[in-house]
Amino acid sequence: MVETKILLAEKELPTSWYNIQADMPNLPKPPLHPGTKQPVGPEDLAPIFPLELIKQEVTRERWVPIPEEVLEIYRLWRPSPLFRALRFEKALQTPARIYYKYEGVSPAGSHKLNTAVAQAYYNKQAGVKRLATETGAGQWGSALAMACNFFGLECTVYMVKVSYHQKPYRRILMQIFGAEVLPSPSDRTQSGRAITAADPDSPGSLGIAISEAVEDAATHGDTNYSLGSVLNHVLLHQTVVGLETKAQMEKAGDAPDVVIGCVGGGSNYAGFCFPFIQDRLTKGAKTRFIAVEPTACPTLTRGLQAYDFGDVAGLTPLIYMYTLGKDFIPPAIHAGGLRYHGDAPLLCQLVADGIIEARAYGQRQVFEAAVQFAKAEGIVPAPESAHAIKCAVDEALAAREAGEARVIVFNLSGHGHFDLGAYDAYLAGQLEDHALSEEELRQALARLPKVG
């Protein structure tokens, strides 16, 4: 148990993804067609997704085999390490044992490559030539650009305009791997042109960029759309993270009391915690699960579970999830990422059913925890991942209060090497905490689409 780095052999890489839909007590309501408000069928999704991924959205099979071609790319960095945070435990003077799974070792710097590789593979198999997608600060865009490069696909990335101009490094990374990167709103699409006509200075948003990428895919026969979070098949691919972690915890001879992760759209946390939730649902394990989000974008803690669009223009199916309303944009001062207005339906349902608890933190305490962690463990975390660290700190301090050797496991979803601007702002004392007011929340939710 003193081992600080727990590795799996290459041959221990999982060969199937885990599908929690096989074990959930309640499945979320199905996505609805935006026009007819009827459940969407495969034929509605076929213009933008390959059949294999559409099947993975709805399958109830518990295990989905990982194709050999995908495993071959996974082996570039997988299995990723699980660390025992001995120095961090000491810094916190806690009797708790803290472990973290480190997804920052992927060539894209985060967990996002796990699904990007799988999606590029299935699209290539289906004869698609090009993938269109959106990206905020560039994590998803750079993962998909790499994955498209591995499988010989073209890649068009609509990048939120303010990030395109303020955060050039991930744009450059995407271009190294051959992607075309456009600042969004762009003049390439109807939805982009409409936004610019209404507001020539629009800084863009993820919702706008999604509208552009979906429209691009829907209007080009050789082009599909690819989403980096939220959808069931994305969560499925990410379970490789949790499956490895489970095997590593067994190697360490330990079992988690609490499993923690940050939530933007829900993919890294779902992929991390679903294999552990299986033990709670089917074997009566007493593990607690905590999903962490920013107070500036408090989807799970203050949003409403309702049907809403995934994008601003209302082109996507209506998705049943916790949401702050599709027009919600967190304040510019928020530097911690995790800005999406909704969350993955599967994760939301587990929150609604009381299996996962949700917690929100202000960004200053999140960056404080990030710096404390970096000083102890030598890794500068992505600001997103730092939300999980802050929660781990609170759990470790609670364990100290209680004099309890609690086992805390969290997902360190990515490194922060491209986020040093946010750290600069924190160190200069320029970050402010922003909690959404009741009035802002009411206004955001008042615009939810009417269904049924």
Ligand X SMILES: *Cc1c(COP(=O)(O)O)cnc(C)c1O
Q: Which range binds ligand X by CB under 6 A, 28-36, 115-123, 177-185, 265-273?
A: 265-273
Distance of alpha carbon 225 from the chain centroid: 17
Question: Both tokens of residue 291?
Answer: 């999903």
Query: Which of residues 31, 81, 192, 265 is near ligand X by CB under 6 A?
Result: 265
Q: How many CB atoms lie within 10 A of CB 437?
A: 9
CB 389, CB 414: distance < 8 Å: no
State the minimum distance, in angstroms, from the CB of residue 32 to ligand X: 22
As a whole number of angstroms, the distance between CA 409 and CA 155 comes to: 35
**Residue among 139 and 196 whose Cβ is closer to ligand X:** 139
Query: Which of residues 80, 133, 186, 268 is near ligand X by CB under 6 A?
Result: 268
Q: What is the identity of the amino acid at 214? A: V
Q: Which range binds ligand X by CB under 6 A, 250-258, 262-270, 310-318, 320-328?
A: 262-270
299 forms part of the interface with ligand X (CB under 6 A) = no
As a whole number of angstroms, the distance between CA 55 and CA 44 comes to: 13
Site string for ligand X, 133-152 (x = CB under 6 A): ------x-------------
Q: Is 183 helix (H, G, I), strand (E, B) or coil?
A: strand
Q: Is 298 helix (H, G, I), strand (E, B) or coil?
A: coil
**Residue among 370 and 382 whose Cβ is closer to ligand X:** 382
State the minimum distance, in angstroms, from the CB of residue 88 to ligand X: 19
State the minimum distance, in angstroms, from the CB of residue 86 to ligand X: 23
Beta-bridge mates of residue 5: 83
State the minimum distance, in angstroms, from the CB of residue 190 to ligand X: 27
Specify the DSSP class assigned to residue 138: S
Q: How many CB atoms lie within 10 A of CB 87?
A: 15
Query: For ligand X, how many residues bind (rule: CB under 6 A)?
Result: 17
State the minimum distance, in angstroms, from the CB of residue 266 to ligand X: 5
Q: Which range binds ligand X by CB under 6 A, 70-78, 240-248, 264-272, 365-373?
A: 264-272
Q: Measure the CA angle with vertex 184, ends 133 and 203; round to 5°.
A: 135
Site string for ligand X, 300-339 (x = CB under 6 A): --------------------------------------x-
Q: How many CB atoms lie within 10 A of CB 175?
A: 15
State the minimum distance, in angstroms, from the CB of residue 162 to ligand X: 17
Q: What is the identity of the amino acid at 254? A: D
Query: Which of residues 150, 231, 385, 392 is near ligand X by CB under 6 A?
Result: 385
State the minimum distance, in angstroms, from the CB of residue 296 to ligand X: 14
451: left (phi > 0), else alpha (psi -120 to 50), else beta? beta
Q: Is the dihedral of CA 8, 63, 224, 160 positive or negative?
A: negative
Query: Which of residues 89, 244, 308, 384 is near ligand X by CB under 6 A?
Result: 384
Query: Which of residues 116, 206, 262, 386 is near ligand X by CB under 6 A?
Result: 262
Interactions with ligand X, residue window 64-123 (CB under 6 A): 110, 112
Q: Measure the CA angle with vertex 264, ends 137 and 383; round to 5°.
A: 60
Q: Which range binds ligand X by CB under 6 A, 7-15, 166-174, 258-266, 426-434?
A: 258-266
Cα end-to-end distance, the chain, whole Å:
55
Phi, psi of 227 (to 5 degrees): -115, 140
Interactions with ligand X, residue window 182-241 (CB under 6 A): 229
As a whole number of angstroms, the distance between CA 317 and CA 309 comes to: 6
Q: Which range binds ligand X by CB under 6 A, 64-72, 170-178, 316-324, 379-387?
A: 379-387
Distance of alpha carbon 64 from the chain centroid: 20
State the minimum distance, in angstroms, from the CB of residue 111 to ligand X: 6
Site residues for ligand X per CB under 6 A = 110, 112, 139, 229, 262-268, 338, 382, 384-385, 413-414
